[in-house]
Amino acid sequence: MTTNPLSWIEDELQQLDSAGLLARIRTIESPMGARVTIEGRQLLNFCANNYLGLANHPRIRQAAKEAIDAYGVGPGAVRTIAGTTTLHVELERRLAEFKHAEACITFQSGFTANLATIPALVGPGDLIFSDELNHASIIDACRLSRAQVVRYAHCDVADLEAKIAGAGAIRRGLVVTDGVFSMDGDVAPLDAICAVAEAHGLILMVDDAHGEGVLGQGGRGIVDHFGLHGRVHVEVGTLSKAFGVVGGLVAGQETIVRWLRQRGRPFLFSSAMTAPDVAACIEAVAILSESDELVARLWDNANYMRQGMQALGFDTGASVTPILPLMLGEAPLAQEFSRRLFAEGVFAMAIGYPTVPMGKARIRVMNSAAHSRQDLDEALAIFEKVGRALEVLD
Ligand SMILES: *Cc1c(COP(=O)(O)O)cnc(C)c1O
C-alpha cells in the first residue's frame, strides 16, 4: 500500500487545532464599515485596516463603476506587455504628486511591492539590515534576494549602528524597516535610521503600509511625517489599508522607479491591477488631496479610544498610532476576551504567539474614521464589561 503524500498536512492541522492555534476565518456578510454583519448579527468593527472608512465610500464606489464602463475589468496582461492603461499612469502621477515624491510605481499589493523591490536592489554578496519585527512580506523578499540578512533589535538605532560596524566592508547594503509596526502601533525612528544609513552609504527603505493615509500631513505617510523628502530611497505603501482598495506602491527617487519597471519581478510577471481598483485608488488620492478631514477624524477617534482604554485601566503598550493593543499576557485569556466581545457585539481580534512573542498576547483594536463617537462609547462600555468579568480590570 502506498502512503498518502499529504497525510503530514492533516497531522499538522490536527496539532494546530488541539493547541488552539488554528486560524478561524470569519465571513463578513456586509460592506466594510464601522459595523459589519457576521452570522446575521451586526457587530461594531475594530478589526479592519479601513482607517479612513474609504472601503465603501460613495465616491470610490462610483469611480470603480465608471471605470468598468470605460475600461472593463481585467487588465489582460502584465504591466510591461499590454497591462498599462492611462488609469495606471494617472494613479502613479497623482500618488507621486500627493506624496511630494519624485516618482511612483504601483503594484498589485503591498506584499508584491516588497517582493519586487528588495531583490531588485540587493543580491548574493550584499547585506540587508532588517528590524527584527519587520512584516512577513519584507522577510520573504529578503530571502528571495539571497542577500545576507542581519537583524537588528526592534527600533534600536544603536544596535543598527553596531551591526553595521560589525559587518566589515559592505559592497552594497540596504536598511529596511516597517514604518508603523502593525502589532504594537509604534513608529520606527526613521529620522535617526536615515542619518545612520546616510553616514554609511546604505540604501534606505521603509514599508509604510500602516502609515500610508495615516501619518504625515493629510495622510502623506511616514516620509512626510519626519520631513525626509528626497532622503529615503524607497517608501513602500499600500492601497489596501487606509486607501480602502487594494494595491501597493513604491514612491521615491526617479532612479528607483525606472529600475523597478525593468527589474521588479511582480511588475514584469504578474498581471496589472484591475481598472476598477485603479480608478478607486485615484479617487481615494483625490479625496485625501482635497481635505484632511478624514485623517483628522481618524486621529481624534484613535486618541479618544486610547485615553478611554487607559482611563479604564487597560495597558495599551507602546502604541502611538490608531493601532491600539490591549496587552493581556496569555493567549487563552486574549482568546476568551475576544469571544466575549463578539458575544456582546464587538468584533476585535485576539493576537497571540507566533504573531507576537509568548506571553504578549493581546486584543488589537483597529480604529477608524468610520466610527462615530457613539460607536466608540458603546464599544468602551463593552470592553469595560468584559474586562471586569475576566478580572483584567479591578
Ligand atoms: C499589510 C502590510 C503589507 C501588505 O500589504 P497588502 O497591500 O495587503 O499586500 C506589507 N507590509 C506591511 C508592513 C503591512 O502591514
Specify the CATH number for the domain of residue 77: 3.40.640.10
> Helix, strand, coil: what percent of the chain each, to 5?
45, 15, 40
- 96 and 207 share one domain: yes
In a domain, 3, yes or no: no
CA angle 236, 116, 25 (to 5 degrees): 75
The residue among 290, 311, 346 that closes a domain is 290
Q: Determine contact, residues 105/157, Cβ cutoff 8 Å.
A: no
Tell whether the model's pLDDT for residue 129 goes beyond 70: yes
**Could you report the per-residue pLDDT of 271-315, keeping only the tens digit for each?**
999 999 999 999 999 999 999 999 999 999 999 999 999 999 999
Q: In the predicted model, what is the mean pLDDT of residues 252-266?
A: 97
The residue contributing the CA closest to ligand 1 atom 12 is: 209
Q: Which long-range contacts (CB under 8 A, 24 or more apart) does 14-18 make?
A: none
Range of the domain at 343: 19-48+292-389
Q: What mean pLDDT value characterizes the chain? A: 97
Tell whether the model's pLDDT for residue 2 goes beyond 90: no
How far is residue 239's CA from residue 237's CA, in Å, rounded to a whole number? 7
How far lies 171's CA from each of 126, 128, 162, 174, 198, in Å? Answer: 6, 11, 17, 10, 15
The residue among 290, 312, 336 that closes a domain is 290
Residues 6+ apart with CB under 8 A from 340: 386, 389, 390
Q: Determine contact, residues 147/205, Cβ cutoff 8 Å.
A: no
Q: Tell me which residues are annotated as active site.
A: 182, 210, 241
According to DSSP, the residues that pair with 83 across neighbouring strands are none
Q: Where residue 69 falls among pLDDT bands split at 50, 70, 90?
A: very high
Tell whether the model's pLDDT for residue 191 goes beyond 80: yes
- 172 and 298 share one domain: no
Q: In the predicted model, what is the mean pLDDT of residues 90-118?
A: 98
- 28 and 87 share one domain: no
- 153 and 92 share one domain: yes
How far is residue 77's CA from residue 295's CA, in Å, rounded to a whole number? 35
In a domain, 37, yes or no: yes
Q: Determine contact, residues 37/30, Cβ cutoff 8 Å.
A: yes
Least confident of 58-67, 173-182, 352-361: 352-361
The residue contributing the CA closest to ligand 1 atom 5 is: 110
- 214 and 65 share one domain: yes
More confident residue, 70 or 1: 70
Residues 6+ apart with CB under 8 A from 242: 49, 50, 51, 52, 54, 212, 213, 214, 219, 298
In a domain, 11, yes or no: no
CATH classification at residue 337: 3.90.1150.10
pLDDT at 26: 93
pLDDT at 354: 83
- The burial class, CB within 10 Å (0-12 / 13-18 / 19+), for 227 is exposed
- 248 and 127 share one domain: yes
- 120 and 100 share one domain: yes
- 42 and 30 share one domain: yes
Instruction: Write down the residue that cell numbers 521603509 correspond to.
Output: 206
In a domain, 12, yes or no: no
pLDDT at 355: 86
- 280 and 349 share one domain: no
Atom nearest to 208 CA in ligand 1:
13
pLDDT at 312: 98
In a domain, 281, yes or no: yes
Number of structural domains in the chain: 2
Q: In the predicted model, what is the mean pLDDT of residues 75-88?
A: 97
Tell whether the model's pLDDT for residue 21 goes beyond 90: no
Atom nearest to 138 CA in ligand 1:
11
- 297 and 279 share one domain: no
**Could you report the per-residue pLDDT of 343-374, keeping only the tens digit for each?**
999 999 999 888 888 899 999 999 999 999 99
Q: In the predicted model, what is the mean pLDDT of residues 119-137?
A: 97
According to DSSP, the residues that pair with 42 across neighbouring strands are 37
Å from CA of 179 to ligand 1 middle = 11
- 296 and 283 share one domain: no
- 128 and 38 share one domain: no
Å from CA of 135 to ligand 1 middle = 7
Residue whose CB lies within 8 A of the most ligand 1 atoms, among 137, 177, 207, 212, for a mutation test = 137
Q: Where residue 211 falls among pLDDT bands split at 50, 70, 90?
A: very high
At 178, give phi and psi (nearest 5°).
-65, 150
Ligand 1 cavity residues, CB under 6 Å: 109-111, 135, 137, 178, 182, 207, 209-210, 238, 240, 248
Task: Tell me what percent of the residues of the chain surpass a pLDDT of 90.
Answer: 94
The residue contributing the CA closest to ligand 1 atom 7 is: 110
Q: In the predicted model, what is the mean pLDDT of residues 232-258?
A: 98
329: alpha, beta or left, given left = phi > 0 and alpha = psi -120 to 50? Answer: left
pLDDT at 1: 67
Q: Where residue 23 falls among pLDDT bands split at 50, 70, 90?
A: confident
In a domain, 14, yes or no: no
According to DSSP, the residues that pair with 38 across neighbouring strands are 41
Residue whose CB lies within 8 A of the most ligand 1 atoms, among 47, 140, 235, 240, for a mutation test = 240
Q: Determine contact, residues 58/284, Cβ cutoff 8 Å.
A: no
In a domain, 372, yes or no: yes
- The burial class, CB within 10 Å (0-12 / 13-18 / 19+), for 353 is middle
The residue among 290, 312, 344 that closes a domain is 290
Å from CA of 374 to ligand 1 middle = 30
Q: Determine contact, residues 236/113, Cβ cutoff 8 Å.
A: yes
pLDDT at 24: 82
Å from CA of 262 to ligand 1 middle = 23
The residue contributing the CA closest to ligand 1 atom 14 is: 209
